[in-house]
Amino acid sequence: MATLKVAVQKSGRLSEDSLKLFRECGIKFNNGVKKLKAQSHNFPIEFLFLRDDDIPGYVEDGIADIGIVGQNVHDEYQKNVEVVKHLGFSKCRLSLAVPREEDYQDISYFEGKNIATSYPNILKDYLKSKGVSAEVHEISGSVEIAPGIGLAEGICDIVSSGSTLLSNGLKEVETVMKSEAVMVASKSLTEDQQKLVNQLIFRINSVLEGKNNKYVLLNAPNESLDKIIELLPGMRSPTVLPLADKGWSSIHSVINEDTFWENIEQLREAGAEGILVVPIEKMIR
Indicate if 185 and 85 belong to the same structural domain: yes
Residue type, 201: I
Least confident of 104-108, 109-113, 235-239: 235-239
pLDDT digits over 119-163, tens only?
A: 999 999 999 999 999 999 999 888 999 998 999 999 999 998 888
Q: Are 7 and 58 in contact (CB under 8 A)?
A: yes
Q: Which of 58, 76, 78 is nearest to 68 (CA)?
A: 58
Distance of CA 56 to the CA centre of its chain: 17
Can you give the residue range of the structural domain that contains 125? 92-179
pLDDT digits over 174-199, tens only?
A: 999 999 999 999 999 999 999 999 99
- For the cut 70, the answer to whether the pLDDT of residue 33 exceeds it is no
Indicate if 164 and 221 belong to the same structural domain: no
Question: What average pLDDT is seen over the chain?
Answer: 93
Indicate if 140 and 269 belong to the same structural domain: no
Query: At 168, which CATH number?
Result: 3.40.190.10
Cβ neighbours of residue 192 closer than 8 Å, sequence gap 6 or more: 1, 2
Mean pLDDT of 237-262: 91
Indicate if 153 and 12 belong to the same structural domain: no
pLDDT digits over 52-62, tens only?
A: 999 999 999 99
Which pLDDT score, from 0 to 100, does residue 221 have?
94
- How many domains does the chain fold into? 3
Sign of CA dihedral 175, 118, 70, 27: negative
Higher pLDDT, 230 or 57: 57
Sign of CA dihedral 13, 19, 20, 21: positive
- For the cut 80, the answer to whether the pLDDT of residue 213 exceeds it is yes
Indicate if 99 and 159 belong to the same structural domain: yes
205 within a domain of the structure (yes/no): no
